[in-house]
Chain A
Amino acid sequence: MKLNINNLSKSYQEKEVLKDITISFEEGKIYGLVGRNGAGKTTFFNCLNEDIKIDFGMINLEDELGNHPLTYNDIGYVTSIPIVPEFLTGKEFLTFYLDINKDKIKDRKEIEEYFSLVKLTKEDQDVLLKDYSTGMKNKMQMLINIISNPKVLLLDEPLTSLDILVQEDMKKLLKTIKQDHIIILSTHILELAIDLCDEIIVLNNKKMEKIEKSNLNTKKYKDKIINMLKDDKNVE
């Protein structure tokens, strides 16, 4: 499975954010998207998720159905600030979600099993989501997004607000599910990107570039990325 982006451009009135981007993402890999504030990472995700219209370009998914335009049905999108329907309990939200997506979910498991996947206890399940901590909401959002098995999983700063232990749980979870997904994760924490991701992509000067690690050690790889981001001509 492959996600192919060809000549993608997006502007907000006279401000060009993404310019003629051509890039491919493959199944089984976690991609780390790094860029300076305002570089266009969230815009890129919003373009893929059809939240905003693109100005030009093609976004296609190559899978068992052939090469077809990517639609929001193929995507799971985890936003940086977890937003969940606060009037439902965790269990009610999951029950509702499983009902709605019953045709899409293969090997449906028991509700308890799903909760144990993100380590939410039995007591937590019957609490209103409004009374969940940010970390718990984040886990819930992540769970909902991976259950229906979307082909492409977009994660916008997913681990920033989590405590260290939850972060580790989430990293393990992502590594487990990456085999069947294309995962793109945006982050400002370079260490996290290097530690978790199989490939790093820098978004700078409206362009995207994969940074090859080749024979570099972690320190040199990190410096290479920072130098790319520092490059003055890359900043508007």
Chain B
Amino acid sequence: MWNSLKYSLEIELIYIMNSFIYSLRKLPIFRDLFTNDIYKNTISKKIIGFFGIVFWYLRNLFLKFLYFYIIYYVSIKAFQNTSKDTFIHIYFFLTIIGIYTHNYLINPNKKKYFSLILMNIDATSYLRANLIGNQIKILLENSILLFVFSYLLKVSYPITILLIIFSFFARLIGEAGLILFYKKYHYMWYSNSKYYVLIVGTCLLLTLLPTINIYLNHRILLIGTILSGILGTLSFLYLFQIKDYKMMMKEIFHMTNPMNTKNNNEYLKQAMIEVREKDKKIDSKKLQGKVGYDYLNTIFYERHKEILIRSAKRYSLILIGIYGLVIYFICNHLYIKTIKDVLNIHILYLPLLMYFINRGSIMTQAMFYNCDHALLRYNFYRESDALLGLFKKRLFMIIKVNLLPAIVIGIGNILVYYFMNRLDLIIINILLIFFLTIFFSVHYLVMYYLLQPYNKNMEMKSIPYLFVSFITYFISFIIPQTGLSFYPLTILVVLFTILYLIISLYLIHKLAPSTFKMH
């Protein structure tokens, strides 16, 4: 078993090292510096690879830290008097969501494919080694981070230890549960969107209970931990005796083809490429009078309607729930001071909110997977007039989808203004939401056309694309810190969006024929 752990770790480390070097070589400054010889087992490879591994680990650790920090931040900012109980409450319910949404044993990825299929490592030992390795990692990271944040919040040691034990065993329950579910139904439980919304939605609502002064009782935490301990131990015993792991993974690899993408959550991608039976037939009226790219775009939209608007619909539902809750508070005179405070600054947070609800990146991904991946192989698809024509059609399509949650935010805000007597904010609100929707829709489509981040294997491997995405996020994030007044911000957003749209159309016409192609 330890040999399996050693081999799989070695494969993982080599994979991380080579991927890091590969990504670095995509940057112009490193392209000439590192030749193909870098992949030989040289000292420079070891040094760069070491940084790659450190970078990879720090990034993962940072994400985990960020997760804890956000819970901590929400607890101390929104619930100043009960931050300790809020932290325990949120962490407990988010861990339950994690049971359902996270797994490491049967999620299909390239590293598993290399180890189990190409290298033919003994699957049972591999499963056991990974199980133990991952659980130790979870235990160590959770212990350190929980002790740090518990110390900051003055959570007692026994409670901290209960949380550590609870999260340790919860993960085992999730792994065993998913495997049992998969064996019975032959799909991952989280890929069923109805159950996903129901389970995650219910848990999220439970997570929000501190807003109405209900907190997780310590007795419930104790019972939950004991239960999780018993079920977790049974899960561990079950996982340790699984004999058909390789068969199961072969079946999953067969369905998901992990070599075609680096995205671990393959089932989402599967669902993204799928054309549903009911969407195969298109009402002929919808295609009447349409020719060329208009015809293509209409068919694309009609056949992928569900995929394209699914997440916009989900966001809209969540937003309706949140606004409903806020209006409920206002009508019952709850948290009025907090709501007033939020109203004084919320306009500055609109860019960040619109950034998060924008569906541009998912839609361009669907465009690539389902349409451009194939059509870019044909030369007629690269002509500048054609590209610009299709760009405009797609832009309208993205704006249309993004407007769904945007309208919910707009109406939600107007209702809140009405009840809070802040009708002076209505015009700014409408202008900002409208122009930010247009800006983010244009932005993602422009990035897609000018930086075309996917390769032939449908992997996203573009550092410039990731960099621009990060900058976009960073600017949206930094706006509230600038303390700009509402009116200058609105004027700035309106003017910038108009300018950006004009420049984008020009750039697409000029540059896209050479940038929008297969790499």
Q: Mark B234-262, 1 if CB is under 8 A from A, else 0.
A: 00000000000000000000000000000
- Among A76, A86, A87, A128, the residue within 8 A (CB) of B379 is A76
B136 within 8 A of A: no
A82 to chain B, nearest CB (A): 9
Which label, helix, strand, loop or mixed, suits the secondary structure of the B interface?
Answer: helix
- Among A75, A83, A87, the residue within 8 A (CB) of B304 is A87
How many residues on chain A are close to B (CB under 8 Å)?
30
* Complex contact A75–B379 (CB within 8 A): yes
Report the separation of the CA atoms of residues A92 and B299 in the bound assembly, to the nearest whole angstrom: 9
* Complex contact A99–B292 (CB within 8 A): yes
B interface with A by C-beta (< 8 Å) = 35-36, 273, 275, 280, 291-293, 295-296, 299-300, 303-304, 370-371, 373-375, 377-380, 382-383, 386, 517-518
Q: Mark A75-106, 1 if CB is under 8 A from B, else 0.
A: 11101000111111000100111011100000
Report the separation of the CA atoms of residues A28 and B343 in the bound assembly, to the nearest whole angstrom: 75
A125 to chain B, nearest CB (A): 14
A14: chain B residues within 8 A (beta carbon): 35-36
Question: With A13-B35, A14-B36, A15-B36 in contact, is A77–B371 under 8 Å at CB?
Answer: no
* Complex contact B370–A86 (CB within 8 A): yes
* Complex contact A101–B518 (CB within 8 A): no
A interface with B by C-beta (< 8 Å) = 13-15, 49, 51, 72-73, 75-77, 79, 83-88, 92, 95-97, 99-101, 128, 130, 144-145, 148, 150
Report the separation of the CA atoms of residues A75 and B377 in the bound assembly, to the nearest whole angstrom: 12
Q: Which chain A residue shows the least CB distance to B25?
A: A13
B14 to chain A, nearest CB (A): 21
- Among A13, A92, A128, A144, the residue within 8 A (CB) of B378 is A144
- Among B35, B293, B370, B518, the residue within 8 A (CB) of A87 is B370
Question: With A51-B517, A144-B378 in contact, is A100–B292 under 8 Å at CB?
Answer: yes
Complex A-B: 28 CB contacts under 8 Å: A13-B36, A15-B36, A51-B518, A72-B382, A75-B379, A76-B379, A77-B377, A77-B379, A83-B377, A84-B374, A85-B370, A85-B371, A85-B374, A87-B275, A87-B303, A88-B296, A88-B299, A95-B295, A96-B296, A96-B299, A99-B292, A100-B292, A100-B386, A101-B380, A128-B275, A128-B280, A130-B275, A144-B378
A85: chain B residues within 8 A (beta carbon): 370-371, 374-375
* Complex contact B380–A97 (CB within 8 A): yes
Q: Which chain A residue shows the least CB distance to B37?
A: A14
B275: chain A residues within 8 A (beta carbon): 86-87, 128, 130
